[in-house]
Amino acid sequence: MDEINHVTKAGLEKLQTELYDLKYVQRPFITKQIAVARDKGDLSENAEYHAAKEDQGLIEAKISKLNNLITMSRIIDESKLNTKQVMMLTKVRVLNLNTKKEIIYMLVNEKEADLKTGKISFKSPIGIGLMNRKVGDISEVTIPAGKIKFEILEITL
């Protein structure tokens, strides 16, 4: 059974742009490569042809996967979000009690996660540890490097 993919409007647009590129840029390009390789003669010994056919299979698989992901995507209604507890699309300012440093995270789905911009997956160990917490809560999160304690300082949109 497929899982609903909660995304922001920008996240869905990014998926749609990627799908458009695969369908209307990469697919026609690979089709031309196959035609050129086919014209070179004996297909049984034509490495270019076999490589192009393999690339075509990979592109078709990506298209199928993205189509399914977009179909299962639901845009989160940001007007229904609140700042009483940490949830998808909220920004949470936390104090790492181990290092005494403040960090701001925004919880998003896996496809939109980008640690450089502070966006973490709500399914990541830290995301799971922060979900549904309230200001003042202390959350102990187990990560590969050990355990981290976070104090929730602020929740915003």
E strands present in the chain = 5-7, 73-75, 91-96, 101-108, 119-121, 138-143, 146-156
Are residues 30 and 93 part of one domain? no
pLDDT, one tens digit per residue, over 61-99 is 999 999 999 999 888 877 777 889 999 889 999 999 999
State how far the Cα of 101 lies from the Cα of 150, in Å rounded to an integer.
Answer: 10
Are residues 64 and 9 part of one domain? yes
pLDDT band with cut points at 50, 70 and 90 for residue 2: low
CATH of the domain at 129: 3.10.50.30
What pLDDT is recorded for position 18? 96
Q: Are 63 and 129 in contact (CB under 8 A)?
A: no
Q: Does residue 135 carry a pLDDT above 90?
A: yes
State how far the Cα of 35 lies from the Cα of 57, in Å rounded to an integer.
Answer: 15
Are residues 70 and 19 part of one domain? yes
Query: At which of 60, 75, 90 does a domain end?
Result: 75
pTM here is 0.68
pLDDT, one tens digit per residue, over 32-53 is 999 888 888 777 778 888 889 9
Averaged pLDDT for residues 144-155: 94
Q: Are 96 and 27 in contact (CB under 8 A)?
A: no
The H-or-E segment that residue 70 falls in is: helix 47-71
Give the rounded percent of residues in the chain with a pLDDT score beyond 70.
99
Are residues 38 and 98 part of one domain? no
Are residues 90 and 149 part of one domain? yes
Domain count for the chain: 2
- CA-based angle 141:84:90, to the nearest 5? 65
State how far the Cα of 5 lies from the Cα of 15, in Å rounded to an integer.
Answer: 11
Are residues 124 and 91 part of one domain? yes
Query: At which of 53, 75, 97 does a domain end?
Result: 75
Are residues 44 and 33 part of one domain? yes
Are residues 60 and 16 part of one domain? yes
Which domain range does residue 98 map to?
Answer: 78-156
Mean pLDDT of the chain: 90
CATH of the domain at 50: 1.10.287.180
